[in-house]
Copies of this chain bind each other. A is one copy, B any other.
């Protein structure tokens, strides 16, 4: 992280993507008036405007953009200036057909949609740096510009590239990583299926082949793809930095696009920003939202971040795009804020009449200002205006869940033991238990310093290097409580099975080894007996060989019938739990309750459906409480609701669907906060 941090803005940032290029000047004037009405203080512009600024290769017309920037500035609305490199213009693809990204099947992807080019094509890199440079030169010191927004959602809609440019860069990347072909052949295990390489130039991208491509190669290609995208970002960032000292970000997609290793990305931006959209089919989308927000905060190591995009109501790209209910937009926004966001922005200000996303909701919908959505946008602006003092406060968590993009890339490759095993599903299941208990969670990598956490959960750590495993073992040794779910620690960083077998590097902490995976047939369910209670499980069993662990749960059926299902191992000053099957939600809750006890963690005890998160400021705590139910519920708290200035002494009623933000003295929340 560089020293440039937060955009120069008062209070909480509020606004959205703004596309004046789609509208007349008359509409621009209406827009800024309505922005002011809504309390908007920051808009992102220029993100898809490359061809309207660089009208022919190397020929620039900034006139309209100048006008927009001045109009916004005159109205007190700050600018998040986008670089338009996520969507090169028509002339780019016409002039550089070789710079198109190419699919695994060899289909070059051209213009007409949202057209990312090959991230490795020299022509693309040059063009991206040129436009970024010109924008920075012109607007780098403009008082309206408080933030740079490079590109858009790296990796989406296309990240992987099988073009010749990509293949050439890939060989270079491999040469740098491995040094020698011997090292590469060893890391990839090319002796299997006769894949030995004798020349660097014989290595190709993992394109469509007769069968399954070497998984180590694919894992490295995922790393390479992530690296190339990040290199594109860095090139633009540095081009801007040469002319501007404002903070530079690019919008992540936290838990919605897995192709970028956000732990690495967070290190190269000045401020983390994230786009988040509810998954409409999920009737508890607020839990997925909370994961995204906690992850955005965690990759930035706890620093405040910006919610760069979310939606006021429905999106357009899901099978069924469910609209938000009354109040849901505010609940969503304040959950993000509670989890560390100091900026709440939307895609987009005004709904587009044309194009692929015309059915995406906006702050100003097709129905205009006389609409539920616009009224709620104005109301939210007022609410955020009352929360200025929250800015910069931080969230604290006693529990960490491991979230490792590289492990996910490896796990998602072909030919794993069971297609029913999903890291997303397991992480959600573990997270959901904590969410329902009102326990705040950070995400972490297995190699991080975990000593600050009382409890560390590993719901899906398929790939785990020996070094990272040793870190986890040390964590337990030093008094931590670790809970590991099945199909973890299986392979190392090259997707090679650990020499001593599955989960072997965790053996000191878990007191067992995994002799064999026992995936179940579709639909098979078997009970386990856990502390005398029957819990229902499915998908997976394992044949465990105990090496010190205590058996806490036993299989009552299935291939491992009669054998250990759940274990606890006392190791050093801590304890290592292992869950070798997939319990349902009630079962997982029963097991984790015991791990809580080990860790000295207690559920927060809030009413069901009341989501409560606390941010710790220099002078006070700020508790955000969101009532997801249709009834009024009571929050035990003393302090002032900043949204109403009501003062609570011990109890605050939160109306159905409502949100409160309460300023309290520090440490009023309970003994489990340090």
Contacts and interface: CB of A to CB of B under 8 A. Distances in A.
Contact of A209 (B111, B208, B372): B111
Contacts of A116: 210
Given A51-B196, A107-B106, A191-B21, A497 B353 contact: yes
A497 B316 CA distance: 14
Given A194-B49, A515-B367, A209 B321 contact: no
Given A317-B415, A415-B317, A516-B373, A113 B212 contact: yes
A52 interface: yes
Contact of A353 (B189, B206, B283): B189
B357 A192 contact: yes
Contacts of A641: none
A52 B194 CA distance: 8
Given A209-B110, A210-B113, A496-B354, A366 B194 contact: no
A37 to B, nearest CB: 19
A321 B370 CA distance: 54
A448 interface: no
B419 A320 contact: yes
Interface in A501-517: 501-502, 513-517
A665 interface: no
B189 A354 contact: yes
Contact of A501 (B199, B210, B367): B367
Interface stretch (A88-96, A132-140, A585-593): A88-96
Interface string A251-272: 0000000000000000000000
A496 B192 CA distance: 46
B320 A356 contact: no
B359 A516 contact: no
Interface string A534-576: 0000000001010000000000000100000000000000000
A21 B192 CA distance: 8
A115 B499 CA distance: 27
A50 B196 CA distance: 9
Interface string A29-70: 000000000000000000011111001100000000000000
Interface stretch (A6-14, A214-222, A292-300): A214-222
A105 B107 CA distance: 6
B497 A419 contact: no
A113 B213 contact: yes
A157 B50 CA distance: 39
Contacts of A179: none
B113 A189 contact: no
A520 interface: yes
A174 interface: no
Contact of A112 (B48, B213, B495): B213
Interface string A78-117: 0000001001111101100000010101111111111110
Contacts of A416: 316, 359
Contacts of A194: 48-52, 84, 87-89, 114-115
Given A89-B194, A322-B519, A323-B517, A353 B496 contact: yes
A655 interface: no
A445 interface: no
Given A101-B210, A191-B21, A217 B520 contact: no
A74 to B, nearest CB: 23
A112 B207 contact: yes
Interface string A175-197: 00000000000001101111111
A107 B208 contact: yes
A646 interface: no
A457 B372 CA distance: 30
A198 B90 contact: yes
A648 interface: no
A16 interface: no
A208 B543 contact: no
Contacts of A113: 193, 209-214
A21 B321 CA distance: 54
A317 B419 CA distance: 10
Contacts of A378: none
B515 A356 contact: no
Contact of A210 (B56, B158, B368): B158
Contacts of A215: 354-356, 358
A358 B521 contact: no
A365 interface: yes
Contacts of A234: none
A352 interface: yes
A420 interface: yes
B90 A516 contact: no
A352 B189 contact: yes
Contact of A520 (B157, B320, B415, B494): B320
A56 B107 CA distance: 31
Contact of A204 (B110, B325, B367, B502): B110
A496 B356 CA distance: 10
A192 B417 contact: no
A516 B199 contact: no
A320 B521 contact: yes
9 contacts: A22-B191, A52-B191, A105-B105, A110-B204, A322-B559, A323-B517, A357-B415, A372-B516, A373-B516
Closest 9 CB pairs of A and B: A189-B354, A192-B355, A113-B209, A48-B194, A157-B211, A90-B202, A158-B210, A87-B194, A113-B211
